[in-house]
Amino acid sequence: MAKKKILITWPLPEAVMARARESYDVIAHGDDPKITIEEMLETAKSVDAILLTLNEKCPKEVIDRVPENIKCISTFSIGFEHIDLEACKARGIKVGNAPHGVTVATAEIAMLLLLGSARRASEGERMIRTRSWPGWQPLQLVGQRLDGKKLGIYGFGKIGQALAKRARGFDMEIHYYDIYRQPAEKEKEFDAIYHDSLDSLLSVSQFFSINAPSTPQTRGFFNKATIEKLPQGAIVVNTARGDLVNDEDMIAALKSGRLAYAGLDVFLGEPKINEGYYDLPNTFLFPHLGSAAVEARNQMGFEALDNIDAFFAGKEMPFKLA
Ligand code: DGY
């Protein structure tokens, strides 16, 4: 039987490509330049499924133009705000994501942002690279320790919990708010203290980590009003999505010292980020590195392929979204 054809919109790790090629006739797009939506829609006419990434934005207008032959889309990401699921449902297109591979890698990056922000790592790095280090000084780049500090985690899903586990290793006190409260034994595992509102969580969070998905309810939630509820000089890290943050309000708070530091891995409109971030010394900034670990990227690819395999086997996708 002829192999099914799939489009992979971006080069993926070799182990993932090898597995894909074993089962499918793969059309893989090169990464330079990245695939345009028009190219994706054109190529889609001659394939049976699409494995795409968060770079390929698929609002309703795009989904409505997906050719009739496509009934399966799988995304190489845990996030799925780039795909209009309702539009997919209306067109009978099954959609799946890759929800597990990112967990540990993203929690590690959140931990790195917490540490790097608390200990002013990027300022130190810059001092060396700009050849401006005058030598050791008692008051030079003095940050703060993590131990004994209250870490508020907003969004206590898999990544939030993996961060809690790591932060416990640094003797941080874990607080969380989520629309779902974890069972008592889970809370005990992390010595996590539940807050029944975001405001309550904010009021104690000397360190605040954003781990909630991008939804109509969460977008822009981190703004002037929210920041005002944090303790003076709090440190915030974001490994979730940039659109949860109001950049102007965050930048103003970093400039005034209301926030001591921000460690950010994700940005609204990335890679074109708010100009205000570039010259702020009290930021530790990464180019969306959360899942950029070989173990994570392999697993993400395998999960995305699991969805496609299940679809062609006439089964429910294991990581079904629509
Ligand atoms: C995801 O999978 O949604 C991540 O943001 C990719 O790093």
pLDDT tens-place string over residues 272-306: 999 999 999 999 999 999 999 999 999 999 999 99
pLDDT in tens, 85-116: 999 999 999 999 999 999 999 999 999 999 99
Q: Is the CB of 240 under 6 A from ligand 1?
A: no
Q: Can you give the pLDDT of all 322 residues of the chain as single tens digits?
A: 899 999 999 999 999 999 999 999 999 998 777 899 999 999 999 999 999 999 999 999 999 999 999 999 999 999 999 999 999 999 999 999 999 999 999 999 999 999 999 999 999 999 999 999 999 999 999 999 999 999 999 999 999 999 999 999 999 999 999 999 999 999 999 999 999 999 999 999 999 999 999 999 999 999 999 999 999 999 999 999 999 999 999 999 999 999 999 999 999 999 999 999 999 999 999 999 999 999 999 999 999 999 999 999 999 999 999 9
Contact partners, residue 234, CB within 8 Å, separation at least 6: 205, 206, 207, 208, 259, 260
What fold characterizes domain 5-101+294-312?
Rossmann fold (3.40.50)
Within 13 Å, how many C-alpha atoms sit on residue 275's CB side? Answer: 0
Q: Is the CB of 77 under 6 A from ligand 1?
A: yes
Catalytic residue among 56, 241, 297, 303: 241
* Domain 5-101+294-312 matches domain 103-285 at the CATH topology level: yes
241 tagged catalytic: yes
Residue nearest to atom 4 of ligand 1 (CA): 77
The residues spanned by each domain of the chain are: 5-101+294-312, 103-285
Q: Is the CB of 102 under 6 A from ligand 1?
A: yes
**Bridge partners of 295?**
none
86 tagged catalytic: no
Domain 103-285 class?
A: alpha beta
29 tagged catalytic: no
Ligand 1 closest atom vs CA 98: 2
